[in-house]
A and B are shown apart, each in its own frame.
Chain A
Amino acid sequence: MDADYAPTQIPAALDEPPPAAPPPPPANALPLHIALSALAGLVCTIVWAVTGGGYYWAAWAWLGLAVPVLVHAIIRFGLSAPASARHGLALHGMVTGMICGILVVTWGFTTDGIRGFWPLWPLLVLGVAVAVHALIIYADRLPGRAREAQLAERVGELTRTRRGALDVQAAELRRIERDLHDGAQARLVALSLLLGRTEERLTDRPEEADLVRRAREEASAAIGELRDLARGIAPPVLADRGLAAAVEALGRRAATPVTVEARALETRPLPVVETAAYFVVAEGLTNVAKHAPGAAAHVRLAEEDGRLLIEIADEGPGGADADGSGLTGLRHRVEALDGTLTVTSVAGSGTTIHAELPCGR
C-alpha cells in the first residue's frame, strides 16, 4: 500500500523562522506615580512641620495626590483583561469604593466627632447600584435560578448523549446487517450451491440425492430467515432509494388500497430517523389492514422546518384505541428521537396517525 512507503514527512514548522518575540508589555508607570506622590506628600508634611504644625492642612495634599494614583490604578486594572461582565462589575466596584473613600475621608477631615454622617446617602445609593449590578450578573447563581440552569444543562447533555447512543445503535445495526449479508448469508448460498452440484451427481442414487436435496432446502430456509431478520432491521430499498421509494413500495405491498403522497425530501434525514419513519408507516398500514380491512388508506410524507411529517389516514370505521396495539412501541421509538406521535380516531370518520420527527441533519 502506498501509505506504507510514504516518505517520513518533516514537520513544516521546522522550516519556518522562529515566531517573532511578543511585543514588550507597556511600561508600568504606576510605581513611579506612587513614589512621586508619596514624595510630594512627604514634602508637604515636612513643610507643615517646619512651619509650626497647627491645623494639619497637608492631609488635603495627601488626598489630592491619592485620588490620581487610585484613578491610575483603576485604569490600569481596566485595561488588564478583555471586556467581560465580571470585569465590568469589578471596575464598577473599584470606582464606587474610591468615591466612597473620598467622601468618608472628606467627612472625617471636616467634621468633629460623629455628628451627622452626611456621606450616608450617597454611599447607600452607590452601594445599591453595585449590588444591583452584581445581582444582574450573578442571577444564575441564585438558589432557584441555579437549579434551572443546572436542569437546562442536563437536558442539553441528555439530548446529546441520547442522539449519540441512537447513532451508535444505528451504525451497529447496519454493521450487523452487512455482516449477515457478507458472512452467514453468503456462506449459506455457497453451501446451497455445493449441495446443488452434489445432488446433480447423485442421479443414479435417489436416496442420497433426496438427503442432499433436503439439506439444501434447510440451507434455503435459513437464508430466508436471515433475509427476514435483515429486512426487520431496515429494508434494503430504504437504504438504497430513500424513504419515499420505500414507503411507496410499502403502499404497493399493502393488503388495502393505498395512495402515497411523498414529496421528494430535499436531503435525506439521518438513517435512524428514516428507519423510524419507515416503521411508523409499516405499522400504520398493518393496523389499517387489521382493524379496517379493505378501507382505503392515504400516506403523506413531507418536511417542514427541519421536521419530517408522517401521516397515515384511513377511511375505516374509526374509534380505535389510541393507546392500544403496536402503537405504544412505535410511540416510544418516535419519542426517543424527540418526535411526537398522535392517533386521532373518531367513530365514523376513520383513523389518522400523525408523527413528527426532527430530521436531525
Chain B
Amino acid sequence: MRAVIVEDLALLREGIVALLREHDVDVVAQAEDAQGLLRIVAGHKPDLAVVDVRLPPTFTDEGLRAAIEARRRQPGLNILILSQYVEPIYTAELLESGEGGVGYLLKERVGEVRSFMDAVHRVASGGTALDREVVSELVRQRTGGAGDDALASLTPREREVLELMAEGRTNAAIARHMVVTPGAVEKHVTNIFGKLDLPATNDDHRRVLAVLTFLRSA
C-alpha cells in the first residue's frame, strides 16, 4: 500500500510515518500544508492520504477542505482524516465528498495501534472508518430530535453492534471486540436490519453505508 501523510507538526508526522512503515505501508511522500497535499496526491497517486484537519496557514479546517478538493481532482482517492476533535458536519461533508474510502478518527487513536492499522487498511481498500465518538454523536442526534423509536426498539447488545458497524468494522472485527462468535454477530446484524427496515446485504461497505444513511436521516 502506498500512502502520503499531511501533518504540520513534525513530531507527530514522524511518529505516524514510523508506525506505518513498521506495518509495511509504503509512505511515498509527506507534506505539511494544504498546497503540499494537493501536490503530492497529484504527483504520487497514492492509495491513501492521511491528513490532519488543521493545517497552516489558517489552522482551522484547511486539511479537510484540501482533502475534499484532492478527491475532486482525483476521484476515488481514499482519505483518512485525523483530528483533535470530531465535528458532525465534517463527517457529513466527508461522506458526501464522492467515491472512495473515508476515515475520520481522533488523533489519539494512533496509539491503539491494532485498530488504527485496521482502519488504515479498511480505508485504503475503499472502506469506512469512523471514530466511535463520531458514531455516538450520530446516534445521539438520531435519538435526540425527532422522537424516533426505531433505535429505541434495539436491545442494548444490538445497539452496540450497530455502533461498531457504523465505525466501519467487519463482522469478524465486531466479534473480536465483543468477545462473541461471528455467528452471534451475524444474528444481531440480521435483527438490526430487520428492525430498522434496511436492505440486507453481505457487502461490508454497503452495510456500513446503509447504517450511516439511517443514522444521518434524522
Contact = CB atoms under 8 A, between A and B. Distances in A.
B145 interface: yes
A252 B141 contact: yes
Most buried by B among A190, A219, A230: A190
B192 to A, nearest CB: 23
A356 B11 CA distance: 45
A187 B85 CA distance: 16
Chain A interface size, as a band, is: 35 or more
Interface stretch (B105-113, B149-157, B197-205): B105-113
Contacts of B87: 236-237, 240, 249
B65 to A, nearest CB: 10
A200 B113 contact: yes
B19 A197 contact: yes
Contacts of B184: none
Interface string A246-269: 001100111111100000000000
Given A190-B15, A192-B111, A227-B84, A237 B144 contact: no
Contacts, number: 98
7 contacts: A182-B9, A190-B12, A216-B111, A236-B54, A237-B89, A249-B87, A257-B145
A225 to B, nearest CB: 12
A196 interface: yes
A contact face: mostly helix, strand, loop, or mixed = helix
Contact of A219 (B15, B19, B108, B144): B108
A249 B112 CA distance: 29
A190 B12 CA distance: 6
A134 interface: no
B9 A186 contact: yes
Interface string A190-210: 101111110110000000000
Interface string B116-130: 100000000000000
Contacts of B140: 253
Contacts of B89: 237, 241, 245, 248-249
Contacts of A220: 108, 111
B160 interface: no
B113 A189 contact: no
A185 interface: yes
B35 interface: no
Given A188-B108, A257-B145, 5 more contacts: A192-B111, A197-B18, A223-B107, A236-B61, A256-B145
Contacts of A255: 144
